[in-house]
Amino acid sequence: MTVQEEYPARYYAQYDHTAAQPAPVKGWFDVWGMSDLSSIPAASDLVALTEVQWNARTPTGLGVQDGAIVSYDPPQPTLAMQAKSALVQAQATTWAKFGSLGQTVTAAWVTYQKALSAIADGSDTTSTVLPTPPS
């Protein structure tokens, strides 16, 4: 079977079929220009693109909905997600500032991390913004 028989369109977009739609585009393929297609999903698992769509593609901001390329704005992270990320950073900071030097972590940093933990695990249901990190 030739490449053109296996992939009737030249250009394709890949997306996560299990994700809520619109789902972000995960990859772009010019299959007719590839010498090895072993790592490319089957054409039926991709979205075929016209040359105009291929030339207009961007690294971000495009998704797939109902088999069509559409504008895509990724969902904003929830406060809990932001807290989890901030907690990782706070833990790294406290280790660098205190733990790695054999010093005791200050009460302000402990309080800050506990507040982030409560937001991250859902036990704090009233906060609407992250606490300000200690200076």
**Distance of alpha carbon 20 from alpha carbon 1, whole angstroms:** 34
Which candidate, 8, 4, 6, 11, places its Cα nearest to that of 50? 11
- Any idea where the domains of the chain sit in the sequence? 3-71, 79-121
Which candidate, 106, 111, 118, 112, places its Cα nearest to that of 133? 112
pLDDT of residue 81: 95
Q: Is the distance from CB of 131 to CB of 116 less than 8 angstroms?
A: yes
pLDDT of residue 87: 97
User: pLDDT per position in the chain (135 positions), as tens?
Assistant: 788 888 999 999 999 999 999 999 999 999 998 888 899 999 999 999 999 999 999 888 899 999 999 999 888 899 999 999 999 999 999 999 999 999 999 999 999 999 999 999 999 999 999 999 998
Strand 62-65 vs strand 11-15: parallel, antiparallel, or unpaired? unpaired
**Distance of alpha carbon 90 from alpha carbon 51, whole angstroms:** 47
The whole model's pTM is what?
A: 0.60
pLDDT of residue 3: 83
**Distance of alpha carbon 71 from alpha carbon 50, whole angstroms:** 16
Which candidate, 17, 20, 42, places its Cα nearest to that of 31? 42
Measured in whole angstroms, the distance separating CA 23 from the mean position of its chain's CA atoms is 11
Collapsing DSSP to helix, strand or coil, 119 comes out as helix
Residue 94: φ, ψ to 5°: -65, -35
